[in-house]
Amino acid sequence: MSHPDPNSAPGDTADKVKVPSPGDMPEGEARTAASLGNTTPEQTRNGHGADWVKEQEQEQEAEAGAGGAGGGGGDHDGKIELTEADAYDELGFSFPKWKKWAILTVIFLVQTSMNFNTSLYSNGLTGIAAQFDVSEQAARVGAAIFLIFYAFGCELWAPWSEEFGRRPILQLSLALVNIWCLPVALAPNFACLLVGRALGGLSSAGGSVTLGMIADMFESDDQQYAVAYIVFSSVGGSILGPVIGGFVEAYLDWHWTIWIQLIFGGFVQLLHFFLVPETRTTILLDRIAKKRRTSGQAPHVYGPNEVNPFAARFTLKELLHTWIRPFRMFLTEPIVLTLSLLSGFSDALIFMQIQSFSLLYKQWGFSTVAVGLAFISIGVGYVLAWLSFLPAIRRNRAARARAPADEHAQYESRLWWLLYTAPCLPVGLIIFAWTSGGPPTHWIGSMVGAAIIGIANYAIYMATIDYMVCAYGPYSASATGGNGWARDFLAGVLTLPATPFYENVGRPGQHLQDANTILFGISVVLVVAVYAIYHFGPVLRRRSPFAQSLAKKSEGEGEGGGGAHLRRSVSRAVSRAQDEQAGAEER
């Protein structure tokens, strides 16, 4: 559920810089792009030849003779740093289309399994309460604690996947999540069960890695379809739990709610181990550089992590700063706070409904299995929302291509479809509220309302991620991290009061209607904020302390820090733009 920025990573010297041309870049990065623009497309495709190495050695000597101005560009004690542009055809961006989507399909299943773990547990509440002699409300702590620790776990895993690679970190996360199923299923007491659930949540990497893998394989302007696909797995996994859980609760012991999580988790871990290669750009650059040195093709070329070792890049202070930044942005950035609260509220509704559906549908005499199947209505909403985003993405890409210099077209246009789908949240809630009174009202009415809520939940998650990634650039990892944290944390916190809320709030005999009407009122306030951000987003971004900090940093780099940016990687878009510009000048 969590989703840090697919486009940036702390301490990364080989990530993409999202800029269309050198004129839009800080001076230091413009010089880098200009130097890369002097290489021919053939040199870029074929890697480092003798001419390239000779040029780099001459540049090193010139820089050394000038006293090493800048102090940290391409000259690192005689080592030349391999950049993304120099090995583009060997990175994840150049994987065949079928391979990218095969990898994404495995990641789809991985993300589904992690969110499946958050919800299936609730179908074992009756058995857990009976075995450990606690109330069902106390047993719900196991559901809440997993979500709350999941929220923090996703943020804790993110920096390590950027440093050591997606593959080992995701394998470690999956292994730990599977291991922590054991003390839950075999718990001798309730405390042991809660500890196992907490550690399982904390071990879940979630979107912090899966969404990051999208950025490893897709340029920022081409990744919307991939993001939409993975977002579907995140929201879909949450309702898959109660659908399957209905059968487990009806026919099996509560322990099977945990064993099934372990079986599913073990299956996807094996799929990931055998089918998904490393995609992290910096890790691949290290491997490519080592291969070129070994072959003698480029003896002075080193990968970014070889040039700048982990200890030099990542001090404890910087690591703490990286972990704290998402929460700081959540509290200080109006855009992040508003969109994250909306996203978190919509996701929390789903987990509140997981607790309330049994109260609702027992009025019509639904069996345990039938109550679980009722969650398919939310899934229908997710499918409709996902399909609706496909033409919306095409429209957005065309709009951005037509107006590359228009700030609103490049940023706020990504929220356009949300203007039409966000109102589904209050609309779905009011329908759900006033069709939840039981007979003689037909049960299909509440399912229609639930499906409309599902449309809104998917749309809000998808659009807010897309917008924040674009709007916050290098800080978007923290911005989207705040979004993901809000979703999981609010879902966990509101899981506990959900049942008392639905049982006690409002008039006698109309608790469900009145409780959902209150939620309707809250949703209206949050949805209105989407329109405010759509129209006033440019003003809010200009007043953003993080945007101002980024502008000052770019200014400083242009004035005196250019040397530190020599041979920093630039996106393929920059190289392509310069090739096109050079071709136009020749013509």
In a domain, 475, yes or no: yes
In a domain, 61, yes or no: no
SS3 call for 409: helix
Q: Retrieve residue 80's tokens.
A: 């030349």
What pLDDT does 228 receive? 95
Provide CB contacts within 8 A for 564, sequence distance 6+.
28, 70, 71, 72, 73, 557
Looking at the fold, whether 189 and 309 belong to one and the same domain comes out as yes
Query: Rounded CA gap, 124 and 232, in Å?
Result: 25
What pLDDT does 540 receive? 85
Looking at the fold, whether 297 and 430 belong to one and the same domain comes out as no
Cα torsion 177, 179, 181, 185 to 10°: value is 180
Looking at the fold, whether 243 and 392 belong to one and the same domain comes out as no
Number of domains in the chain: 2
Query: Rounded CA gap, 337 and 123, in Å?
Result: 33
What pLDDT does 350 receive? 87
Residues forming a β-bridge with 79: 76
What pLDDT does 474 receive? 62
Which of 165, 169, 124, 116 has the alpha carbon at shortest distance from 142? Answer: 124
Q: What DSSP string runs through 242-302?
A: HHHHHHHHHHS-TTHHHHHHHHHHHHHHHHHHHH-----HHHHHHHHHHHHHHHTS-TTEE
Query: Rounded CA gap, 288 and 7, in Å?
Result: 21
H runs (alpha helix) in 39-165: 41-46, 50-65, 97-120, 125-132, 136-139, 141-164
Quickly tell me which residue has 């019509």 as its tokens.
Answer: 364
Residues 442, 529: contact at Cβ < 8 Å? no
Residues forming a β-bridge with 80: 301
Looking at the fold, whether 533 and 386 belong to one and the same domain comes out as yes
H runs (alpha helix) in 403-510: 407-410, 416-421, 424-433, 444-472, 476-504
Provide CB contacts within 8 A for 513, sequence distance 6+.
433, 434, 436, 437, 506
Provide CB contacts within 8 A for 444, sequence distance 6+.
none
Q: What is the pLDDT of residues 293-351, one digit of tens each?
A: 988 888 889 989 888 877 777 778 877 887 888 888 888 888 888 888 989 999 998 88
Looking at the fold, whether 301 and 436 belong to one and the same domain comes out as no
Looking at the fold, whether 237 and 357 belong to one and the same domain comes out as no
Query: Rounded CA gap, 111 and 235, in Å?
Result: 9
SS3 call for 412: helix
CATH of the domain at 173: 1.20.1250.20
In a domain, 461, yes or no: yes
Domain of 445 in residue numbering reads as 329-552
Positions in the chain whose pLDDT score sits under 70: 1-77, 473-474, 476, 547-587
Q: Which of 314, 342, 368 is the last residue of a domain?
A: 314
In a domain, 141, yes or no: yes
Looking at the fold, whether 240 and 371 belong to one and the same domain comes out as no
Query: Rounded CA gap, 457 and 115, in Å?
Result: 15
Looking at the fold, whether 226 and 274 belong to one and the same domain comes out as yes
User: What one-letter code names the amino acid at 204?
Assistant: S
Looking at the fold, whether 93 and 240 belong to one and the same domain comes out as yes
Q: Which of 282, 314, 346 is the last residue of a domain?
A: 314
Looking at the fold, whether 347 and 298 belong to one and the same domain comes out as no
Q: What angle do CA 422, 428, 429 make, to 5 degrees?
A: 105
Instruction: For 174-196, give one letter per residue: b (16+ CB within 10 A) or e.
Output: bebbbebbebbbebeebeebbbb
What pLDDT does 447 receive? 96
SS3 call for 375: coil
Looking at the fold, whether 441 and 492 belong to one and the same domain comes out as yes
In a domain, 25, yes or no: no
What pLDDT does 63 receive? 40
Looking at the fold, whether 264 and 394 belong to one and the same domain comes out as no
Helix axes 97-120, 334-361, angle to 10 degrees: 60
SS3 call for 181: helix
Q: What are the two backbone dihedrals, phi and then psi, of residue 177, each rounded to the nearest 5 degrees?
A: -60, -45
In a domain, 69, yes or no: no
Q: Which of 286, 314, 342 is the last residue of a domain?
A: 314
Quickly tell me which residue has 């978190």 as its tokens.
Answer: 344
- Side-chain-facing half-sphere of 263: CA atoms under 13 Å: 7
